Amino acid sequence: MRMTTLTSAARWTAACSLILCMLGCGGESEPVRPPPQPSATAVVPPPPPPPPPPPPEPSASAPLKYTTEVVIHQAEIHGKIKLRAGKKLLVEPLVSTSTTQPLKGNKAEVFRVVDKPGTETQWLLIADAEIGADFINGKNLEVAITEEKKGVLIDGKPVNHWLAGTMVRVRWQWQ
C-alpha cells in the first residue's frame, strides 16, 4: 500500500506542479527571460550633440528690438535780405511754409534765388546757419551763419550774395 500511496502521491505532486507551472508562466510555452546583466567592460558615452548654429546677423530689413525713430521736420521762410553784419543775417519774411515757428538754435540753410529768363527758378545753397533768435510773426528773422559756402558762382562769375533786397529761402529743421 505504501508503494501505491507513493505512486499516487507522486502523480498528485506532478499534476500540481504542472498546474502551477502553467499558471506561473501564463500559459506561454517559453518562460520570460530576465534582462541581460550589464557587462564589466568600459561603457563609452555617446558623443555630445553638435552646438546650435549661431544666431543670424541682423539685416537692414529686420527691425531691431529696441529702436527709436527720430523724425526731423523741415520748413522754409522765403524773404529778402534786410541786413548782414558779420555772421548775423536779418531776413524780412514774406512767406512761410509752416505754422511752426523757428526757434533759437534750430539748424538752417540759406539759399539764394537765381532767375534766368526762359528757365526754371534755381536755388543756390550759400550758407549753413542756425536760427539766431526765436521768430515772432511780423518781425525780421535773425539767422547766425555758421559756414558760408565759398565759390558759389552765377553764370561763372563771383557775385555778392548778401546785398540788401536779395531774395533768399531759409530752410530750418526741428525734431
pLDDT higher for 162 or 32?
162
What residue ranges define each of the domains in the chain, with the CATH number in brackets? 73-174 (2.40.30)
- Output the pLDDT for position 55: 78
Q: Which helix (H) or strand (E) holds 166?
A: none
Cα 129 to Cα 53, 103, 158, 172, distances in angstroms: 52, 13, 21, 9
| Average pLDDT value over all residues in the chain | 82
Residue 20 in 3-state DSSP? Answer: helix
Q: Is the pLDDT of residue 23 over 70?
A: no
Average pLDDT over residues 136-158: 90
| Distance between CA atoms of residues 171 and 109, nearest Å | 5
Q: Is the pLDDT of residue 20 over 80?
A: no
pLDDT in tens, 55-109: 777 666 656 677 788 888 999 999 999 999 999 999 999 999 989 999 999 999 9
Q: Is the pLDDT of residue 147 over 80?
A: yes
* Burial class for 145, CB neighbours closer than 10 Å (0-12, 13-18, 19+): buried
Cα 136 to Cα 47, 103, 112, 133, distances in angstroms: 78, 9, 23, 9
pTM of the predicted protein model: 0.59
Average pLDDT over residues 145-169: 90
Q: How confident is the model at residue 50 (pLDDT cuts 50, 70, 90)?
A: confident
Nearest to 79 by CA among 111, 47, 105, 108: 111
First to last CA, the chain: 123
Cα 108 to Cα 22, 116, 129, 156, 161, distances in angstroms: 104, 26, 5, 26, 17
